[in-house]
Amino acid sequence: MDQTAEKKLVGEAAAAYVEDGMIVGLGTGSTVYFTILKLAERVQKEKLTIQAVSTSKRTTELAEANGIKIYDLNDVPKVDLTIDGCDEFDPQLSGIKGGGGALLFEKIVATASDKNIWVADSSKAVEQLGRFPLPVEVLPFGAQHLFRLFEKEGLKPVFRTNPDGSPYMTDSGNWIIDLHLGRIDDPETLSSWLNGQPGVIENGLFLNIADCVILANGENVKTLKRDV
């Protein structure tokens, strides 16, 4: 089974967790794409009444094009359940997100959610975080200085760029510096250090946030739950 088929399998499976009346957070990416389409189908067929909040312009456009109204996060009291993808996750269900550039809104929505489900194809499971470059969203003002600091600290930074070489810009107008770490031995310390640097808006380490991961392994689907 190829990766897209695995994404479809788990993406669609996650839509079953949405119940009538819920306020639902919709993540961003090619796996959650299938969740959104399946959810739109359920809303229409089962006449579900849900309120959805979005984590990116892309997701808002996809959801609304398929008949799911998106509410402003400020206008809902809380989020019952958020379904999102991840770039990698470890056995404790901590992960790296932001490969699609939506880490800031994804983290805000996730932390406002009672429950977080991640959907993952088999390539996303790792023993130790860090193989996937860690995205750090930074304010463009003075970003070169942060970049040099990251270099000095041996964090192997690379500015994320568009195909034409211009800086990649997030939905909030910030830039992303990807850290090519290879392995992260102490994610908590790294996350705190990064977020303590002036100009860093947020980093892509999502620690103790996912309650469960719906993981594809070929045609099999496994649901992994975080020990609390």
Residue 14 within binding range of ligand 5RP, rule CB under 6 A: no
- Minimum distance between the CB of residue 148 and ligand 5RP, rounded to whole angstroms? 25
- Minimum distance between the CB of residue 28 and ligand 5RP, rounded to whole angstroms? 4
Q: Of 27-35, 72-80, 138-146, 191-199, which part binds ligand 5RP (CB under 6 A)?
A: 27-35
Residue 154 makes CB contacts below 8 A (sequence gap 6+) with none
Q: Of 23-31, 45-53, 147-155, 192-200, which part binds ligand 5RP (CB under 6 A)?
A: 23-31
Which amino acid, one-letter code, is at 223? T
DSSP 115-169: EEEEEE-GGGB-SSTTSSPEEEEE-STTHHHHHHHHHHTT--EEE-B-TTSSBP-
Query: Exactly one of 8, 9, 14, 28 binds ligand 5RP (CB under 6 A); which one?
Result: 28
Q: Which residues is 205 bridged to in the sheet?
A: 96
When the beta carbons of 31 and 191 are compared against ligand 5RP, the nearer one is 31
Report which of 210, 199, 190 is spatially closest to residue 87, judged by C-alpha positions.
210
Tokens of 88: 């990698």
Residue 147 makes CB contacts below 8 A (sequence gap 6+) with 157, 159, 177
- Minimum distance between the CB of residue 190 and ligand 5RP, rounded to whole angstroms? 18
Give the separation between CA 121 and CA 99, rounded to whole angstroms.
14
Residue 25 within binding range of ligand 5RP, rule CB under 6 A: no
- Minimum distance between the CB of residue 159 and ligand 5RP, rounded to whole angstroms? 17
Q: Using CB under 6 A, which residues numbered 56 to 115 contact ligand 5RP?
A: 84-87, 97-103, 106
106 noted as active-site residue: yes
Kindly list the residues in this chain that would bind ligand 5RP in the complex (CB under 6 A): 27-31, 84-87, 97-103, 106
**Residue numbers annotated as active site:** 106
